[in-house]
Amino acid sequence: MKENIELNAEAISLRKQFGEDAGSPIEIFSLLQNNEDLTTVFYPMSDRISGMCIRDGNNKIIGVNSTSTYGRQRYTIAHELYHLFFQEDFNSIICPMDLETDKDPQEKEANMFASYFLAPYEALAHFIRNKLGKKKYSLEINDVVRIEQYFGLSRQATLWRLINDGYLTRYKADTMKTKIISSALRLGFDSKLYLPTPEENQYITFGKYINLVEELKNRELISTGKYEELLLDGFRGDIVYGFSTQEDEKYD
């Protein structure tokens, strides 16, 4: 297996490749949508699966379990980026939800990479040392909430990382696995990070697939019927039937 220092370096390298710096919180959904080779599909999956990825030449597809929390979806995307950009000799991979029990070396590397991609080693250390004023083994639940809110991590991903970096004991981390939303609300944060995608939006596709369908239509290579069929296959009825909004759009 790769050493953590190498995985951290790869995470920072990919951040820079995407035009991001080495330490700031990252808006990973926007980042994906600006990559011409990536298609992202959000789809309800088994509660044992966080996501999957497919690579075929330059075409890259990431599938995200939209019933997982927003924070976990961010982590899943970063995890799949490792497979797509750094793992060799694969066509498709299905990735489990549990971070602690998986024994596959490539999955362990992808998990560590994902954590570093969202919260690089030095960025997390700086935040704990300078923003929280804390040292190892002195973190409390309020500190954990501020870390996960700042870097956009789920509670499981946050605790897993803090244990691995030596900031929390496993025993103390176990006391922070419940009352997750209330611990954030009490500090003035909202609950978005800890909630799944609303049910009505759990099926949707972004990225290259939609762009290719539009290109085929614009070049008159497919009929209107086929165009709409392809969009519906990608769960984009909003494009076919029009956008459903309760209010008029605003230009402000």
Give the pLDDT confidence score for residue 90 in this predicted structure.
Answer: 85
Give the pLDDT confidence score for residue 246 in this predicted structure.
Answer: 53
Q: How far apart are CA 195 and CA 154, in angstroms?
A: 10
Residue 63: CB atoms within 10 A of its CB come to 23
Amino acid at 67: T
Do 15 and 117 touch, CB atoms closer than 8 A? yes
Give the pLDDT confidence score for residue 57 in this predicted structure.
Answer: 85
Using left for φ > 0, alpha for ψ between -120 and 50, and beta otherwise, residue 149 falls in alpha
Give the pLDDT confidence score for residue 89 in this predicted structure.
Answer: 84
Do 51 and 65 touch, CB atoms closer than 8 A? yes
Q: How far apart are CA 53 and CA 94, in angstroms?
A: 7
Give the pLDDT confidence score for residue 9 in this predicted structure.
Answer: 97
Do 67 and 74 touch, CB atoms closer than 8 A? no
pTM of the model: 0.92
Question: Block means of pLDDT (10 residues each) for the chain, length 252 residues?
Answer: 94 94 93 86 94 91 96 96 92 88 84 97 96 92 97 95 94 96 97 95 94 96 96 95 66 73
Order of strands across the sheet that contains 92-96: 92-96, 49-56, 59-65, 38-43, 204-207
SS (H, E, C) the chain: CCCHHHHHHHHHHHHHHCCCCCCCCCCHHHHHHCCCCEEEEEECCCCCEEEEEEEECCEEEEEEECCCEHHHHHHHHHHHHHHHHHCCCCCEEEEECCCCCCCCHHHHHHHHHHHHHHCCHHHHHHHHHHHCCCCCCCCCHHHHHHHHHHHCCCHHHHHHHHHHCCCCCHHHHHCCCCCHHHHHHCCCCCCHHHCECCHHHCCEEEEHHHHHHHHHHHCCCCCHHHHHHHHHHCCCHHHHHCCCCCCCCCCC
